[in-house]
Structure formats: structure tokens, C-alpha cells
Structure 1
Amino acid sequence: MRPEDFIENPPGEVETVDGIFAFSPDPLPPDLDATHELLTENGNAMYSIGQLSDLDTWLDSPEVILSPLIHREAVDSSNIETTTRLTLSDIYRREAGEKPGQTETERADIAEAQNYVEAITTGIQALREGTELDRDLLCRLHEILLQGARGEQKNPGEFRNDIVGIDKPGTPLSEARFVPTPPASIPYALRSLLQYIRSGPTYAPLIDLALIHYQFETIHPFQDGNGRLGRLLVMLALYKWDLLPGPYLYPSSYFNANRDTYLDKLLAVSRDGAWAEWVSFFVQAISEQGREAYTVARELLALRDRYREQYQGQGAVIRELIDFMIEHPYLTESQAVDVLNRSQPAVNQAIRRLWNDDILRETTGQQRNRQYEASDVLEIVEPYNP
């Protein structure tokens, strides 16, 4: 990173630490020109958010829809950073007791995605119980993200003590595309950011959320896992500001599909002060993913209603199994028995009925320890499922 790559008055300070140039962003908010075009884009995105928010008002069991959406966000977030091409089935199979993945790297990447599921659930529950969105919560979630996964040797839950470069692995610090905030400045920069989040939005909420996501990624407070935690922070802020009643939105899908543009626009803010271009990109991501999440949720509900009608009057166990199957479309009999708190014969009979009707597909070919897949559910939530 070189000072001459930055405009004369960038939105931060280029400083030297041990002979390496690093960038510390100015505290939020910047002086942003909220153009008519940007406000229109924000309005479209808020409409998408509003549709998702309305889902919660008429869902009898929100977790039936939330679970597949959370798992999808976990997969997409991990796929931005890992070499393994993860699928939803990988996480569900691991939760069902399998050990998917052919190599240690693949298994660690799948564990990372499952950690993301736990971190989302933990973060939303903590805010729901009144916990502040503060340093302690972020460090706690960072520990969860890195447990047993890539980066677990890089001080989970603790701010980094070293200068780091953002570039391809092996690139010397002096030649890195970007060097984020020096370690000594991290506690102050993050404290300022978290105070800004807690105080509520200055601009329109989604515009402010774009500023917050940029700020966190540019501070880059941890040795590893900043991208995952930064994307999780988007959902936590949406919940904190009462824009969504739960983690219905999965922004990582858009960032993953537009990864190079995502990284370039983040960098362009620091180098060129290109706030409007970044905010426009971010708000477009929220708008598109809001529409997609709403479509997925409605399709899941329609599928569940079709199944309920098909098995109407055939008892509570099969009805409960249908809901569980949509939450966890890769399941075992013992898993269903534990979650539904029903007798094994009753659950086995319900599974057998869905299997005979081709709603569940048995995947092992074994007589014991069978595992089942709800293909219709996976087809909705994982359109790229092979």
C-alpha cells in the first residue's frame, strides 16, 4: 500500500508503523450527499425489508423459515472466504451426525459454516435478551466463529496485535493492496463504531448500515474472521434497529456473487472517498437479497401448507415432523425423536409415511442408522444444490 494511491484528503489517515503504511478510517459519519437516486434505491431496499418484516407477523412458527435462511447465509458467507465449495447439505449432514468432506480442509470449512449458524443464533438471542451490541458481544461471537475452524490459532475473541495486509496469501506487507488500522488504534476505532451503532442511524438506516459495514471491514480488528463477523454485524444492526424481527436477510449471497466488485468498492472508499458508489452497491445488495429471501420464505411456506393439507387429520407427530423437516431437510430418526420429544415408534411411522410418499429420500441404503433428505425443501433454499 502506498500513500500516493490515496486522494489528497481521504476519509482517514495513512500512517507509518514499522516502515509499513496503514490506513485508519475517520470516525463515522462522513459528509455524504444523499442524492435522489440513492434515496430511491434506499426506498426500494426498505420495501424489501418491510416485506420480510411482515412475515413474522403471520407466521405461527418463525423458526421453520428462519433456520433455512440462517443456514443459507452461513454457506454463502463461508464460500466468500474458503476454497471449498460448500452446500447447505454439507452443514445439514454434519448436524445430522455425518462427517462430510473428503479432506481436513473441507471438513474445517464445513465446521466454519456451522459456527456461523451458531454465531447468528447466539447474537440475535443476546440482543433479544437485552445484551448491548458492544465489544464483549463481538468478541464472544468471534470466538464462536473460529472454534474448531480456519483461524482457530489466531487468538479468537481477541484484537490482533500485528499489522496485517489484505491481499493474496504470501504477498509481502509492503506490497499489500490494503493495510487496515494499526493494532494500537483498534480499540478506540471499534469503540467509536459501536457507539455509533447504538446511537441509531444518522442517515436513512440502510445507508448508515453501508457506512458501518465499510467501517468494520476497514478497521479489521481481528487476525482472522473479520469478513464473517462484519457480515453478521449487518444482521445484528438490522435487528437492533427494529428493521427486522430476526435474521431473515442473507446479504452474503450478493457479496459472494459479486465478490470482486464488493472488495473493489470497499477499497475505493478508503482510497478515493467513493462513498456514494459503495453505499449504492450495498443498498442494492440489501434490496436484491430482501426480495430473494421473501420469495424463498413464501415458497417454503407454500410447500409446508401443501404437506399439511396432504396429511391433514393424520396426527400431531407427522405435522410436527413436516415442520422439523423444513427446518432441517437432512435428518435422522434419532434427531427427530430428540427434537420432537415423541416416541421412537411414532416418529419412525411418520418418517416411513413420508418416505413411502417420496417426500423424504433415504440416502444411506442401510437397514440401520438411516438418514433422510427432503429434496423439495433443499431445491427451494439451495438452488445451486447439485
Structure 2
Amino acid sequence: MPWNPEAPYNDLPALPPVHIDLEPRAVLKATVEARAALATLAQAGHLLPNPNILLNALPLLEAQASSEIENIVTTADELFKHADLGGGDHATKEALRYRSALFAGVESIRQRPLTAATAARICSELQGREMAVRAVPGTRIANPTTREIVYAPPEGAPLIGEKLSAWERFVHADDDLDPLVRMAVAHYQFEAIHPFHDGNGRTGRVINILMLIDKGLLQDPTLYLSRAIIARKNDYYRLLRAVTADEAWVDWILYMLDVVRESATSTTRKIAAIRACQEHIAERARAATSGGRDAQFLAVLFEQPYCRISTVVERCDVSRQTASSWLHSLVAAGLLHQVKVGRELLFVNHEFMEVLTRSE
């Protein structure tokens, strides 16, 4: 029976697809290039004196971009401003929950294998409430401009549960399929199952990172995938649909491999820019204040673009007066900006923020 976008796709085939070579020569070549880019990224990450720079900053940028794909739009400035304070507008809170979901997923897979339960935990963190598989029929995905229905996912909690179990088996299959190809194929399948009422796209993109960590291709969630997807957002949705309509697996896999390669390469460039910024600011900070000779203080300035006096007190084991003096000296030297958020006085490493948010 031909696929009908308006009818629930209850016959969604299990993985791997039958009679289709998922790793033709073009895919193998693209896999080598993506793996090389990931290896270069790993080496670049080791050159940073403080790995918390990446762990604190890049997941927030990924949260912003992945949320933007779903038209949840906030700014990096708002995210960093509210990362430790909480608050912000609705979109900012949604994006901050993405970061929480990402970290919850990483913690989960370091204790037990990736499963449908992991996906439910991620989605629950994203939505801020307990999420279970869809039980109510009638879910339809429409073109946001024309309102034309473009896809109807499988219906019925028991059937969705069966599809997710088959998806799990594929994720953990003991075969020769390259982990990057497996990630691309599994991502399509998860989005096609569309197991939750909301949050499936963001949940699926968190799972992409988890699969790469699980297979040792990443050590931490420091790959900034969603920005590359945003740059070709129309292709993302078009190619997902083409797999459903035409079994165009190879085009989809090549797209995802290129997203990985491009993301790893741009993140490597960003790390180089962060190192240069860090060295430049450290040199000027040493001339501006005695705190500039404190390695821990310099590390704090680059863990988040926004810094609080209380953070410096805690991390550097100095008095509040000393912490305040160090920070205000850097404001006077033009290295930091001072802003008020509610009752909190924050100090912004504006050069670091510019490096984080510009395209590399």
C-alpha cells in the first residue's frame, strides 16, 4: 500500500531498511571525513586548560539552536544571563530546559544503555513535566506555512511501544554499521515514530549526541550540531520526508554526516578562537589587577560569559571585597561590562561572548 501522509504510518518498517545499502562508496567517504573532523575536535578540546569552558558554554549554544529549529527563539545573551539565575522569558526557560535534558541524558547513558526510557526522561526534562508515549490518536504534522498535512505518525500506545523497542534493538545492534550512519538512521526512525505529544525533535537531537558519546566518538556533549541543521533547516525536513516517501536513505545519511563534519570543524575553529581570546584577556588582566595573576580567577571568567561576585568568592577562596575589587578593576580596564539583572550585579566577558556567538 503506498504511503499516505494523512493516514497514521502504522506500517513504519523496522530497521535496518530492507534491500538498501546504507553504506555505498559516497557514504563511506563522508563517514571518513566526519570521523576525521571529530578526531580533530577531540584534540583541540584537550588543548584548552579548562574543559569547563566547553561544558558550560557549548551545550547552551546547542540548546539555543535546537530550540530555534522548533521556532522557540531566544538569544545567547539571554541564555547565558539566566543560566545560573533562572528566570527569563518563556523561550529562554524552554532552551535552558534543553541543556538540563542534555546533561540528564549524558548522566543516564553513563549508568545504563540508551533506551526508550532514556528518551522519555529527556523529553520530560525538556517539557518540565512527566512525558509518556502518545495515547490519544489524531496527531498530524503540517507544513507551518500552507497547513498541508505532511506526515501522520503511528498511533496507539502499544504500537508505539513496539516501534520504540525495535528502535532500541537497532541502536544496540551488534553489526558492522558505522556508528555515525547508525545515528543518522536511528534519528530518522525516532522522528518517524514521533513517540511523544511534543518535544520529539529536540529529544531526537539530544539522542544524536548521546549515541556519539556512547560509541566513544565524543567524550562530552561539546558538539554543536543544531546550528548546522538550522543553516539547512528546509533540507532537514525535506530529506526526513523523502526517506518516508521514497526510501531516500542515502541522501539523508549524507546530509547528517555532513552536519557532523561541518559542526565538528566549526567547533574546532571556535575552540581556537576561545584560546586566543583567553590568552589575550589574561595578558591584559594581569596588568589591570592582582586578580589577573590568579589562575582560578581567570578560569572563572571563561566558564560563563556572565560572572557574579559570589562565584569568584567561592571559587577563588577570597573575600567579597577582594572579588569585587578584581571584577571592578577589569570593568575599568574595559575587559568586562557590568549589568544589573534583578538584584544581581553581573560582570560580562563581552569579548568571550562575541567569540561564542559568532559563526566560525
TM-score, length-scaled by structure 2 = 0.89
Instruction: Report the counterpart of residue 348 of structure 2 in structure 1.
Output: 373
TM-aligned CA deviation for residue 97 of structure 1: 3.0
Q: Secondary structure at the match of 2:52?
A: helix
Moved more, 73-82 or 180-189: 180-189
Q: CA-to-partner distance for each residue in 1:205-227, whole Å, 9 max, x for gaps? A: 21121101111111111100000
1:382 aligned residue: 357
Match of 2:264 in 1: 290
Distance 1:188 1:5, change over 3 A: closer
- Structure 2: gaps (5+ residues): none
Q: Point out where structure 1 has 5 or more consecutive residues left out of the alignment.
A: 7-13, 101-106
Match of 1:238 in 2: 212
Corresponding residue SS for 1:22 = coil
Does 2:24 correspond to 1:35? yes
Q: Which residue of 1 aligns with 2:124?
A: 143
Aligned to 2:66: 77
1:66 Cα deviation after fit: 2.3
Matches within 5 A, 1:202-281: 202-281=176-255
Matches within 5 A, 1:90-239: 90-97=78-85, 99-100=87-88, 107-128=89-110, 130-147=111-128, 156-163=130-137, 164-168=139-143, 176-183=149-156, 184-199=158-173, 202-239=176-213
Secondary structure class of the residue paired with 2:36 = helix
Give the Cα separation in 1 of the matches to 2:350 and 2:292: 22
What residue is the counterpart of 1:103 in the other structure?
none
Which residue, out of 9, 12, 27, partners 1:22? 9
Using a 3 Å threshold, how does the CA distance of structure 1 residues 161 and 218 change in structure 2: closer, same or farther? same
Structure 1 contact 93–99 (Cα < 8 Å) conserved: no
1:327-355: CA deviations, max 9, x gaps? 21023323443455543123212212221
Identity in percent:
24
The structure 1 residue matched to 2:330, chosen from 354, 357, 370, is 354
Number of residue pairs aligned between Structure 1 and Structure 2:
353
1:21-44 deviations in Å (ceiling 9; x for gaps) = 425432222232522222211111
1:44 to 30, 33, 39: 33
Task: Provide TM-score, normalisation by structure 1.
Answer: 0.83
Q: Cα–Cα, structure 1 residues 158 and 248, in superposed 2: closer, same or farther, change >3 Å?
A: same
Shift of 1:132: 2.1
Q: How far apart are 1:365 and its partner, in Å? A: 10
- 1:326 and 2:302 correspond: yes
Query: 2:16 is paired with a residue of what secondary structure?
Result: coil
Q: 1:264 to 1:169 in 2, by over 3 A?
A: closer
**Deviations 1:259-289 (CA, angstroms, capped at 9, x unpaired):** 1110010010011000011111111111101
Contact persistence 1:22–1:180 (CA under 8 A): yes
1:93 maps to amino acid? K
